Amino acid sequence: MAAGMEAATGLAGSPSSVMATGVLLVATAFCLLLLLTQPLRRRVPKGLKPPPGPRGLPVVGNVLELRKDPHLALTRLSQKYGDVMEVAIGTQPVLVLSGLDTLRQALVRQGEDFMGRPDLPSFRHIADGQSLGFSPEVGEVWKARRKLAQNALKTFSIAASSTSSSSCLLEEHVSKEAAYLVTKFLQVMEEEQSFDPYRYLVVSVANVICAMCFGKRYDHNDQELLSLVNDSEKFGEVAAAGNPSDFIPLLRYLPSRSMDLFKDYNQRFVRFLQAIVKEHYETYDKDNIRDITDSLIEQCLDKKEASTAARIPNEKIVNLVNDLFGAGFESVTNSLSWCLMYLVTYPNIQKRIQAELDQTIGRERRPRLSDQGTLPYTEAFILEMFRHSSFLPFTIPHSTTKDTVLNGYYIPKGRCVFVNQWQVNHDEKLWKDPHVFNPERFLNAEGTEVNKEDGEKVLIFGLGKRRCIGEFIARRQVFLFLTTLLQQLEFSVRDGRKVDMTPRYGLSLKHKRCEHFQVKQRFPMASLS
């Protein structure tokens, strides 16, 4: 028996057996690799060709090339491979679209083909997977509810104000919050040498959408609202285009603090909205529709009036409110925050905007929405802020709803699509010196009018059927907040300090927070009406 064991041991350690074991391991690894990379193999109909793109590494694809500032990496790659190219994130192929003409072709002219959303794991945690903006659903029910949400947002934006026959609800809410913000900035300056404007700005912007959605505003010290709006960055870090854990299954099983915070944020936000909706149901009066939430409840209860597709189950109202809040909050906050950074970086531009405000509006009244169109330099500044910052470098990822062809390339159904807005906004074919901040690029030779055609080339809210439903109110809020602040205040930073405008990648590009802002009052506010 001992001899048999010795023989067996000798066999196991023989060179031939070691070689056989090595061959077996290599074969196993090869089969595993083949299995992992199988999704990358494409069947292309005869006569068509697949999009070009860089060769990726096994298992991880092009992740290493995209790990830092994906918008810049993909822009560089598009210069080599073209406006329609394909990269691999993990083993999953992703279509990347660049170039204004290509984006208009895909998202507008072929909008039905590209209006889907990929079923990404992170998206399932947003509004319990029922978000209008992130859900892969694109059927008739989705279309009807999106239209309903869009109409509700617009209706409560342009509805006549109860306090003034000449203004709308949106104007009333923004004017009040902007005036409060002016007072708050001045009050803080009396107590401190400098401050971070974002911490106050974010609450004022949130209060506008809270007033429209919930019929109430919150104190700037309200801890629940502060916690939600200040933690919104946790959402953007995970929901950003190209998050590896959305494409590489193994990463979902590894500990991730950012994913844990993302899930916690979404759960807290839903609970916050659930409490508000519950309160609205308890106090609902069909003869007194107070806000957007009441309007949605009315539609939910009035089954006879609503079409089958547009009817909203009670439990879905929270999800719609979630979308409307997001649509009216994140883009406005980012816009105004970037505006302030550019204003202190380019003080001469700030002075020119204020000179235009003094000349056109004066100092006897506050700016109004009706002033849009009469302040061309201010409008050009806002457009250039959108273009230069490109704080939404990609739209939320799209997906194809059927097999299609774009620019001669075959694109299969269900392909995840990244829309590179940053590339369009910095395309040398469209813009002279695209990396230079220059509002005058949008003005005519006399500086009296904005070139609307150039303005429409700036991409920040997407295009086509998935265009941001909050664009209408976002543009209006940015204009009204900015003009009200600049009419009354002059912004600067403490001597010897500079702002850091290096963007940090996420769903939106955010600059580093700056605590060195200072403000100075331009004239007594008592003179304003």
Which residue positions form the known binding site for heme? 468
Structure tokens at 291: 């806000």
Residue 111 phi/psi, 5-degree rounding, is -55, -40
Angstrom distances, CA of residue 62 to CA of 59, 99, 244, 466: 9, 21, 10, 27
Whether the Cβ atoms of residue 317 and residue 293 lie closer than 8 Å to each other = yes
Q: What's the burial of 118, exposed, middle or buried (CB within 10 Å: 0-12/13-18/19+)?
A: buried
d(CA 162, CA 172): 9
d(CA 437, CA 501): 12
What is the C-alpha radius of gyration for the chain, rounded to an integer number of angstroms?
A: 27
Question: Residue positions in the annotated binding site?
Answer: 468
The HSE-up count of residue 75 (CA atoms within 13 Å, CB side) is 17
SS3 510: strand
d(CA 352, CA 364): 19
d(CA 35, CA 496): 58
d(CA 212, CA 215): 6
Angle, CA of 361, 363 and 366, to the nearest 5°:
65
**For every residue of 61-85, which 3-state class applies, written as one string?**
ECHHHHCCCHHHHHHHHHHHHCCEE
Cross-strand pairs, 491: 519
Length of the chain: 529
